[in-house]
Structure 1
Amino acid sequence: MKILDKAQQIERLYAIPPVYEWELIVNPDHGRIKIAYASFGICIILAVVSFFWFQGNTGLIAAGMLIFLGSCGAPWGRFLIHADKRHYYAINQYGMYSTSEQIIPEIAYTIVRRSAWVGCAICVFAAIFIGPMAFVGAGGAALMSFAMTNFRSVPHKSQCLFDGYAKLDHIDGIVYELCTTNYHYGFDLMIPESKLTSIIEVIKQYNDIFEEEFVDLYKDSKFQAQPIILEIVR
């Protein structure tokens, strides 16, 4: 029998139809609204300070750039960076794999990219007519604008191959990690309570040894983003 290398095993994993699959829509951070308001407030405060700290046009441009940063950055963080996510998971006899992607309409990416080019134009104008001092206190606006010009959704894929041993770590509510002999760092999972028993039975079916461990990693963390399941698609 031919021995497959890791790349070939992963290719086989994706080629075989799943025996069990589930899909979730998740809010990745329950505090995302507060973060957006706080970010906008900080930018406004810095804009006021910059306006009075620098003299003339320099202060005006710096304040304007910070207001632009807050006006674009806060919605960008809330509706793009912390947007709802769609998670898909599948299990077959060779392992598990998942795909996660933010749920954002394409029009939102188009608006962000065009707004970023406007921000870039403002930064270039400031550098030409005001000088390098225009970027003092507002360099973040320039960096963010240039970074957002190619902003688009990128699906994230991951996989975990079965090797006879599996341990499911219960992290916090819906958050789990699956560890195998050759995958000690854990394969991240989100499992609704209604599907947990069925998923465990499928994992046991394809591994000789199965263990469970309850690990409270977030016990002492006050600011840990807690995901919330919004919908169980299947």
Structure 2
Amino acid sequence: MEILDKEQQLERLYATTPVYEWELIINPDHSRTKTTYGIFLVLVLIGWITLFFLRDSTGLIVAGIFTLNAIILSPWYRYLLNADKRHYYAINKYGMYSTSEQIIPEIAYTIVRRSAWVGCAICVFAAIFIGPMAFVGAGGAALMSFTMTNFRSVPYKNQCLFDGYAKLLNFREEDYTLCSHNSMAGCKLIIPQEKLVPIIEVIKQYNDTFEEEFMDIYKDAKFQARPIILEIVR
């Protein structure tokens, strides 16, 4: 029997037809709207506090920069950084794999990239004509703008190869991780309650040993980005 290395096993995993698959649309952070308002208010407040202490053209420009940042960064955080995500999961006899990607139209990425270049130019000119004080607001904005010039969708892949032993860790409602001896980091899963039993049965089918464990790792967490299932596609 031919022994495959890790890369070959992963190729085989992704090339094999799934025995069971499901797809979800997720809100990745239930508090994203509140955080968006918080970002907006903090940036505007910093800008106008600066204007209170610098009651001249410099203070006005700095306040304007912070206000512009608030107007741009708040929707960027809510509708781009924390956009709804599409999660796809598949199980076959060799293991499980998943892909996740933000649900954002390509035109939005194009607009962000072009706007970022404009933002870079504005921040640089502000720093040149105002002086060092402009870096209080323009420096952070310029850094963020340069970061967004290559903004694009990057699908995230994750997998867990079966090796005869599988362990399903449950951290909270609908939040799981599937581990094996060779994949202790595991494959993170979001499993709707109505799909849990058939998924477990399929995993058991391809492993000699199967275990379940509940780990309440969020018990003492005051702030946590809890994902919410918006739609079960299939």
TM over 0.5: yes
Structure 1 residue 55 displacement after superposition: 5.3
Superposed CA deviations along residues 31-83 of structure 1, whole A, max 9, x for unmatched, are 11100000000000000112233353322222121111111111011001111
1:166 match: secondary structure: strand
1:226 match: secondary structure: coil
Matching residue's letter, 1:225 = A
Match of 1:58 in 2: 58
Give 1:146's aligned residue: 146
Distance in 1, Cα, partners of 2:55 & 2:207: 70
Query: Is the Cα–Cα contact under 8 Å of residues 62 and 135 in structure 1 kept in the other structure?
Result: no
Look up the match of 2:183.
Answer: 183
Cα distance in 1 for partners of 2:69, 2:144 equals: 8
Identical aligned residues as a percent: 69
Contact kept, 8 Å, 1:57 with 1:130, in 2: the verdict is: no
* Mapped partners of 1:127, 1:137: distance in 2: 9
TM-superposed deviation, 1:224: 0.7
Cα distance in 2 between the residues matched to 1:220 and 1:211: 25
Confirm or deny that 1:162 pairs with 2:149.
Answer: no
Alpha carbon RMSD of aligned pairs, Å?
Answer: 1.2
Match of 2:215 in 1: 215
- The alignment status of 1:74 with 2:87, answered yes or no, reads no
Q: TM-score, normalised by structure 2?
A: 0.96
Opposite residue 152 of structure 2, the aligned amino acid is R
Q: State whether structure 2 residue 46 is matched by structure 1 residue 41.
A: no
| Separation of aligned partners in 2, 1:6 and 1:57 | 62
**Amino acid corresponding to residue 30 of structure 2 in structure 1:** H
1:137, CA displacement in angstroms? 4.2
What is the CA distance between 1:4 and its match in structure 2? Answer: 0.5
Equivalences for residues 9-28 of structure 1 within 5 A:
9-28=9-28
Q: Work out whether residues 123 and 138 of structure 2, in 8 Å CA contact, stay in contact via their aligned partners in 1.
A: no
Alignment of 1:219-234 (within 5 A): 219-234=219-234
What corresponds to 2:206 in structure 1? 206
Aligned length, in residue pairs? 234
> Matched residue of 1:184: which SS?
coil
Judge conservation of contact 1:50–1:137 (CA < 8 Å) in 2: no
Q: Distance between the aligned counterparts of 2:186 and 2:231, measured in 1?
A: 25
Say if 2:170 and 2:212, in contact at 8 Å, map to a contact too. yes
CA contact (8 A) 1:21 1:88 kept: yes
More displaced, 71-80 or 120-129? Answer: 120-129
Q: CA deviation at 1:138?
A: 4.3
1:221 shift after superposition: 0.9
Distance (Å, rounded) in 2 between the aligned partners of 1:198 and 1:181: 22
Q: Contact 1:13–1:94 (CA<8 Å) still a contact in 2?
A: yes
The offset of 1:90, in angstroms, is: 0.4
Instruction: Structure 1: give runs of 5+ residues left out of the alignment.
Output: none
Amino acid at match of 1:29: D
1:171 Cα deviation from its structure 2 partner: 1.0
1:122: how far off?
Answer: 1.0
**CA-CA distance at 1:105 after TM superposition:** 1.1
Equivalent AA in structure 1 for residue 135 of structure 2: F
Shift >4 Å, 4+ stretches? none
Distance 1:104 1:17 in 2: 28
What code does the residue aligned with 2:60 have?
L
- Equivalent position of 1:125 in the other structure: 125
Tell me, in whole angstroms, the C-alpha distance in 2 between the residues paired with 1:26 and 1:62.
Answer: 38
Between 28-37 and 104-113, the greater mean CA deviation after superposition: 104-113
Q: Distance between the aligned counterparts of 2:203 and 2:184, measured in 1?
A: 17
Name the CA distance, whole Å, in 1 between partners of 2:138 and 2:35. 20
Amino acid across the alignment from 2:19:
V
